[in-house]
Amino acid sequence: MNRLIIVLFALLAFQAGIAQNKIKIESAEELPKHYYDLQGNKAMDYINNRDLLLELAITLEKDLRDDLEKYDIQDKATLRGYHSNFSMIHFLKDDMKSALEEIEKGRKLTEKESDKYMYNFTLDEFIKTRLEYSDLQEDEFKEAFKANLSSVLESMPFEVVQEDIEGMTGSLDIAKPNLIQGMIEGQMQPIIDKAGKQVPKFIVLQILNAALTYDMYLPYVDEVYKPVFQTYYDNHHVDVVMVDIWKERDVSFKDDLDLDPVVIGIWDSGVDESVLPEENRWINGLEKRDGKDNDNNGFVDDINGVGFDLNGNKVTELLFPIKEKNSNYQQYEKYLKGLLDLQAMIKSDEADELKKYIVTLPPEEVNPFIENLNMYANFSHGTHVAGIACKGNPKAKIMAVRLTFPYENIPAPPTLENSTYWAKMYKNTVQYFEDNNVKVVNMSWGYSQNSYETRLAMNGVGENEEERKALAKKLFNTEKDAMYSAMKDAPEVLFVVAAGNSNNDVGFANNIPSGLKLSNLLVVGAVDIEGKETGFTTMGKGVDVYSNGYEVESYIPGGEKRKYSGTSMAAPQVVNLAAKIWAVNPDLSVAEVKDLIVKGATPSEENKDILLIHPQRSLSMIQ
């Protein structure tokens, strides 16, 4: 026995030595990047030529295997991605058993309850059916696959997977070959053309994913996926009554209460102040709409807030001038509503209109369509956030601060000039908050060093990975340092930020602002109306509290109301609570308000590390 223990300890020590020799990856920007010379081949060439596709897949697989040999990666979301990619590559290579092994490895790394069921389960069942019925003709295989897929779905608890099922079922109505081809030719190919011999890994993965889509997705949409998913949904959704925990937690103030006004900064894509109740609009009484800086504060016509364009220059418009870019933008509001309705399994005229439009959309018009949809989503985002932040609080005063984000699928590359302007913009914005007694700021956005490196690669900037990485780091840190110092130097302002929607770890992702470590910053994740984890929310020790971010109703520009989902909708729920706390007691410090929010929160029943805000409890604790 003693010898066995000694041998085991020796083995463990040896294994530890191996791990120590690997390069430890602490954050997402440290992950290895890979670039490929496609030798003049077009993206569609790989879809149409299997040998060419497999050659590319094998090259990528070697690089990914080498990554795991060379680097010590502990982040589960990243590792799940590796195993998902391996399963896809093995499938394309017709190595089905190895594909199943990789799916199982990835599933063991899932952290959310829904992911344990949903992780690559359609590919899993497709492969198992192929292996079980290898001699069947295609029509017979479809029936067997349909039966197996249905059986697996029926074994899943609907209340756990409902969000995923709704999204997947709704997307089936727009899964059309013309859409996939349009994305390949309109989004992937321009990047390949610009990148030359330095095509980034994510494009190669997209090509392989497209091939997988053509192989095991598109041919089975109408005869397998749609009837199976729809039947499962129809059989179970009527039996599941979601209990809204937020109704009994929420607090709504009346006008006759003795409350203090609280200025809320909505630092976002812009706000249509006209749709908010008049009592909720912040007004700079020293300014007129006359094209002049009447109060000499450096901003012209800042009656309800300030704006900055894509380059970080000051502008007077608090909303992105969408009419100048797309005179038909109101149609895209309908398309966006239709898309959201499809994903929520809601029957509507807008959903029907979107389905009909997608079917007739030529491949060359797919990219402009998606960009216009992105543009409208950006345009409406800030107004939706603002409506959530001031709901039920007549003393909330919404100040709009407009950022401008790119909406293009291939945005222009970042530059040092732009980053310098954005750094200045961050400092000017936070100073504006301080000068106007803003108590709490909502920041439902974020980005990373990796996103800048990706944009450089998409535009063919940089001779190699090292050059791109160095430039991306310089640009990102220029902005990050400015944001950090500005927020740190405003200790009397509470900054509430969205954790992110990438189903990953907030600390590993290292985005800004959610990755900043500041005493006056609060990071928010998203749950649904029952307080259960959403499939999209970013999580981790760096997330302070969670609130409802699933199908939250609020205003869009023009005054109508829509339901949006995301941590973008969860963060303003916490801002709303902070503003109500200060309305009751304006003398509380930022630390005291944070403490009331966190201490009032209650642990989730499914995960004790998830703290769900409880406005009633927090407000009742005010001394």
Distance CA 566, CA 536 (A): 7
Sequence-distant (6+) residues with CB within 8 A of 524 are: 496, 497, 498, 499, 543, 544, 545, 546, 547, 567, 570, 571, 573, 574
pLDDT per residue as tens digits for the range 218-265: 999 999 999 999 999 999 987 677 889 999 999 999 987 899 999 999
Q: Token digits for 242?
A: 């979601």
Bridge pairing between strands 521-527 and 494-498: parallel
Nearest CA to 509 out of 542, 535, 485 is that of 542
Domain 262-620 fold is Rossmann fold (3.40.50)
Percent of the chain surpassing pLDDT 90: 91
606 — pLDDT class (breaks 50, 70, 90): confident
- Cβ atoms 102, 82 nearer than 8 A: no
pLDDT per residue as tens digits for the range 514-567: 999 999 999 999 999 999 999 999 999 999 999 999 999 999 999 999 999 999
Helices (H), 416-460: 416-435, 449-458
Q: Examine the pLDDT at 12 and tell me if it is beyond 60.
A: no
Between 323 and 18, name the one with better pLDDT: 323
Question: Could you tell me the pTM of the whole model?
Answer: 0.93
5 — pLDDT class (breaks 50, 70, 90): very low
Average pLDDT over residues 49-53: 97
Number of residues in the chain: 623
Distance CA 400, CA 307 (A): 8
State the CB neighbour count (10 A cutoff) for residue 455. 20
State the CB neighbour count (10 A cutoff) for residue 317. 12
11 — pLDDT class (breaks 50, 70, 90): very low
386 — pLDDT class (breaks 50, 70, 90): very high
Distance CA 185, CA 586 (A): 56
Q: Which of 34, 83, 236, 381 is catalytic?
A: 381
| Of the listed ranges 137-141, 389-393, 481-485, 605-609, the one predicted with least confidence | 605-609
pLDDT per residue as tens digits for the range 281-291: 999 999 999 99
Q: Which of 173, 250, 268, 544 is catalytic?
A: 268
Sequence-distant (6+) residues with CB within 8 A of 33 are: 200, 201, 453, 457, 465, 468, 469
Angle at 271 between CA 267 and CA 272, to 5 degrees: 170
pLDDT of residue 20: 54
Q: Token digits for 439?
A: 């108590």
Has 309 been annotated as catalytic? no
Q: Examine the pLDDT at 90 and tell me if it is beyond 70.
A: yes
Would you put residue 551 in left (φ > 0), alpha (ψ -120 to 50) or beta? left
- Cβ atoms 270, 307 nearer than 8 A: yes
pLDDT per residue as tens digits for the range 394-432: 999 999 999 999 999 999 999 999 999 999 999 999 999
Peptide bond between residue 513 and the one before it cis (omega within 30 degrees of 0): yes
Per domain, the residue ranges of the chain are: 23-239, 262-620
- Cβ atoms 100, 69 nearer than 8 A: no
DSSP states of 125-146 as a string?
A: HHHHHHHHTTT--HHHHHHHHH
19 — pLDDT class (breaks 50, 70, 90): very low
pLDDT of residue 545: 98
Has 134 been annotated as catalytic? no
Between 584 and 170, name the one with better pLDDT: 584
State the CB neighbour count (10 A cutoff) for residue 390. 26
Distance CA 181, CA 187 (A): 10
pLDDT of residue 21: 81
pLDDT of residue 4: 34
Q: What is the mean pLDDT of the chain?
A: 94
pLDDT per residue as tens digits for the range 569-578: 999 999 999 9
β-sheet bridge partners, residue 527: 533, 548
Distance CA 378, CA 266 (A): 14
1 — pLDDT class (breaks 50, 70, 90): very low
Compute the Cα dihedral for 533, 538, 541, 544 and give only its sign. Answer: negative
Has 34 been annotated as catalytic? no
Q: Which of 114, 269, 514, 568 is catalytic?
A: 568
